[in-house]
Amino acid sequence: MPATLPLLLTMGDAAGIGPECIVRAFAEGAAANSVVIGDVGVLRRAAAQLPGLPVPMARIETPADLAEVPPGCLPVIEPAGLPAGLAEGPCGRIDARCGAAAARCIESAVSLVQQGLGAAVVTAPLHKEALAAAGVDFPGHTEMLQALAARAAPEGALPEVRMMLANDELRVVLVTIHLALRRAIEAVTFDAVLQTLRIAHRSAALWGQPRPRIGVAGLNPHAGEGGLFGDEELRIIGPAVQAARAEGIDASGPFAPDTVFMRARNTVGHPGEFDLVVAMTHDHGLIPVKYLGVEHGVNVTLGLPFVRTSPDHGTAFDIAGRGLADASSLKAALAMARSLVQGRAAPVHGGA
């Protein structure tokens, strides 16, 4: 067994580009000390779709078997309960079996990391419609991981979690995620904003910023313009920022959401004013990060009792099975997971 526990990499939707990205990342040396939780047949099919990148598979029973895997072989754990015949199904289509398999792989990976057999969970993309077709009662990874984490918590308490999307230039943490916009606006409460600020502040220590500068985006145009275009900034967001500051959190705002991301963007010659931005809704926060390039973005679930990262893209059904997928975002997710695991293990000094 390696000196450090392996990363546990879930296959994602078998009909999407996840398996292809996994094989490519492994072949290019970016998935060292990782174990895939998935279907061997699906991964073999993905390898066959990548001419010039022959990757043999090694089926293992537990992450502890990684030490026995021959060099150059991709180690795969097939969890019990995977639907049969996944590799025979077409790529690029919604399939309930693929949704069920993706969910089963996530459940297995979380169970292994909770048993202390893995360092972190890295998830390849799943398809939300396939998940729903399989009868899985979660709209996405974040909510499923939150529920799975609760199973090991005292009295099954749900951990407070938040989605962060990050690249080298910008980090954004979301107050609300997979909700219809009308419902998301209703979910922007004082408690939700304050808790997001707490989670973002606490989590930043994992990547070396125990005192992060947090810029808070408003909800309305021009951050409400003093109540002219909406009063959530005055009633909810502003008071939550002040409460966070009273706790020693370096939060400021709310700022106009159409400019705060530019102010936070950190590039050569333009040091950002903020280390991260808290945004109220999914698209407010994710559009600017994804515009900078999904190939470099990483999705991180903050607040879980274990590290979880994911690529900043979906299943890309339009190119699945054609050998065209770019594994850059998965590579970034693997690198981010390793970094956060190290940060979790290291002592943190300073901060509130």
Do residues 122 and 7 make contact, with C-beta atoms less than 8 angstroms apart?
A: yes
The reported pLDDT for the residue numbered 273 is 96
In a domain, 301, yes or no: no
**pLDDT value at 160 more than 80:** yes
In a domain, 322, yes or no: yes
User: 134 and 15: one domain?
Assistant: yes
In a domain, 281, yes or no: yes
Whole-number Å distance between alpha carbons of 166 and 171: 4
What is the C-alpha end-to-end distance of the chain, expressed in Å?
37
User: 148 and 34: one domain?
Assistant: yes
How much is the mean pLDDT over the chain?
92
**Span 290-333, pLDDT tens digits:** 888 767 789 999 999 999 999 988 999 999 999 999 999 999 99
User: 253 and 318: one domain?
Assistant: no
pTM of the model: 0.90
User: 142 and 235: one domain?
Assistant: no
In a domain, 302, yes or no: no
User: 71 and 195: one domain?
Assistant: no
User: 21 and 129: one domain?
Assistant: yes
pLDDT band at 345 (very low <50, low <70, confident <90, very high): low
Name the residue with tokens 């893995």. 118
Q: 268, 292, 316: which is the final residue of a domain?
A: 292
In a domain, 303, yes or no: no
CA-atom Rg of the chain in angstroms:
20
User: 312 and 276: one domain?
Assistant: no
User: 146 and 28: one domain?
Assistant: yes
Mean pLDDT of 123-136: 95
The reported pLDDT for the residue numbered 297 is 87
User: 187 and 71: one domain?
Assistant: no
Using the Cα atoms of residue 314, residue 214, residue 160 and residue 181 in order, give the sign of their dihedral.
Answer: negative
User: 182 and 109: one domain?
Assistant: no
The reported pLDDT for the residue numbered 52 is 80
Q: 242, 264, 292: which is the final residue of a domain?
A: 292
In a domain, 247, yes or no: yes
| 202: CATH | 3.40.718.10
User: 102 and 249: one domain?
Assistant: no
Q: How many domains does the chain have?
A: 2
**Span 192-228, pLDDT tens digits:** 999 999 999 999 998 889 999 999 999 999 998 999 9
Range of the domain at 227: 168-292
Do residues 95 and 320 make contact, with C-beta atoms less than 8 angstroms apart?
A: no
In a domain, 27, yes or no: yes
Whole-number Å distance between alpha carbons of 78 and 39: 6
User: 277 and 317: one domain?
Assistant: no
Please, which residues bridge with residue 164 across strands? Answer: 173, 300
In a domain, 299, yes or no: no
Q: 292, 318, 342: which is the final residue of a domain?
A: 292
What angle (nearest 5°) sits at the alpha carbon of residue 141, between those of residues 39 and 88? 25
